[in-house]
Amino acid sequence: MKELAIPMHVREYRSPLAATEKRILLWLAERMPKSVNSDHLTLMGFFGILLAGVSFRASAWDKRALFLVIVGLAVNWFGDSLDGTLARVRNRQRPRYGYYTDHVLDLIGTSVLVLGMSLSGFMSPLVGFGFLIAYLMVMAEVFLSTHVQHVFRMSFMGFGPTELRILLATGVLFLFRKPVVKIAGNGPFLLFDVGGVFAIVGLTAALLISAYRNIRTLYRQETLPRQRT
């Protein structure tokens, strides 16, 4: 029986930090001990985001746990960003296995992270729930787009995973000094509630714009023959 050819996707990562990050990751991958492989790094990245989520929850009792959130985000970046680069440098790629495993763990880890944020007292559960729904819908659209277009777009409007980690870590630092803010004299509002609402709006816009573009492109690519009258 003849095997079906399964087309692989290409990665599209356009962000201000993309070129610099790529150079750093290549430098790290070339110096990684041979005893460390991509699976180890994937698990390290997963552990990092779980640590961030659990530390957010722990910050409800001890604010110092927020430092571990930043550590967890850094560990997540190291493992999650470097695993694919290491596989490519060593020519040990398993595209379908890597794509599926990496993103399933990302979905689980991000859900734990948002749950921890929602239970920390720094973000209300309603905003956290809304953010998680918006995030999961965007990821569903990204996966569908990757399947039909064979292009995995990792950023939108200049924001990719690395930029979002930096933005979140910066927000965590602000929690030590100013966990609440006033807007136009109204409030106070939780800082992460304000950030969460902006994130929901941004994710919703990304979903709608990307869906429109993909539907338009696919409509033009798959034209129907004219019916004879």
Chain segment 156-172, per-residue pLDDT in tens? 767 788 889 999 999 99
Tracing tokens 């996966």 back to the chain, one arrives at 143
In a domain, 2, yes or no: no
Tell me the HSE value of 136 on the side-chain side, using a 13 A CA sphere. 14
CATH number of the domain encompassing residue 107 = 1.20.120.1760
Domain that holds residue 206: 15-221
Residue 135 near residue 110 (C-beta atoms within 8 A): yes
CA angle 193, 197, 203 (to 5 degrees): 140
Tell me the HSE value of 112 on the side-chain side, using a 13 A CA sphere. 20
Distance of CA 16 to the CA centre of its chain: 16
pLDDT of residue 6: 44
**H-assigned helices in the chain:** 18-30, 38-58, 66-89, 95-118, 125-149, 161-177, 191-221
Chain segment 63-105, per-residue pLDDT in tens? 999 999 999 999 999 999 999 999 999 999 898 898 899 999 9
pLDDT confidence tier of residue 223, bands split at 50, 70 and 90: confident
Residues forming a β-bridge with 186? 183
pLDDT of residue 70: 97
Confidence check: pLDDT of 16 > 90: no
What is the average pLDDT across 41-55?
97
In a domain, 159, yes or no: yes
Tell me the HSE value of 37 on the side-chain side, using a 13 A CA sphere. 6
Residue 42 near residue 102 (C-beta atoms within 8 A): yes
In a domain, 227, yes or no: no
Question: What is the pTM assigned to this prediction?
Answer: 0.88
d(CA 118, CA 120): 6
In a domain, 229, yes or no: no
In a domain, 137, yes or no: yes
Per the structure, the count of domains in the chain is 1
Confidence check: pLDDT of 174 > 60: yes
In a domain, 178, yes or no: yes
pLDDT of residue 5: 41
Confidence check: pLDDT of 13 > 90: no
Residues forming a β-bridge with 61? none
Distance of CA 207 to the CA centre of its chain: 14
Confidence check: pLDDT of 2 > 50: no
Chain segment 98-141, per-residue pLDDT in tens? 889 999 999 999 999 999 999 999 999 999 999 999 999 999 99
In a domain, 183, yes or no: yes
In a domain, 9, yes or no: no
Peptide bond into 125 cis (omega under 30): no
Computed over every residue of the chain, the mean pLDDT equals 89
At 16, which amino acid appears? P
